[in-house]
């Protein structure tokens, strides 16, 4: 997703999405260990999405203060 789409989401939606992405990253890492991962860049993309979500959550929390 693009960061603009994340900015349109509420904090609760972002936190739920963050949990989902972290589960997805765990699954991808376990696939990488068992050599069943088809897309080697998938882990990198999910990590970047997680970082974007965390950044936007922090920005929204600071703006609410």
Tell me if the pTM is above 0.75. yes
> What is the model's pLDDT at position 1?
74
**46 and 25 Cβ atoms separated by less than 8 Å:** yes
Residue-range definition of the domain harbouring residue 33: 3-64
Structural domain count of the chain: 1
**How many other CB atoms sit within 10 Å of the CB of residue 54?**
14
- The Cα–Cα gap between 21 and 1 comes to 12
Q: What is the CATH number of the domain that holds 22?
A: 1.10.287
Which tens digit of pLDDT belongs to each residue from 12-65? 999 999 999 999 999 999 999 998 888 889 999 999 999 999 999 999 999 988
């Amino acid at each position: 997703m693009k960061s603009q789409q994340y900015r349109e989401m509420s904090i609760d939606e972002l936190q739920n999405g963050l949990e989902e992405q972290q589960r997805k990253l765990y699954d991808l890492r376990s696939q990488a260990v068992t050599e069943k991962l088809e897309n080697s860049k998938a882990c990198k993309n999910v990590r970047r999405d997680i970082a974007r979500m965390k950044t936007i959550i922090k920005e929204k929390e600071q703006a609410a203060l």
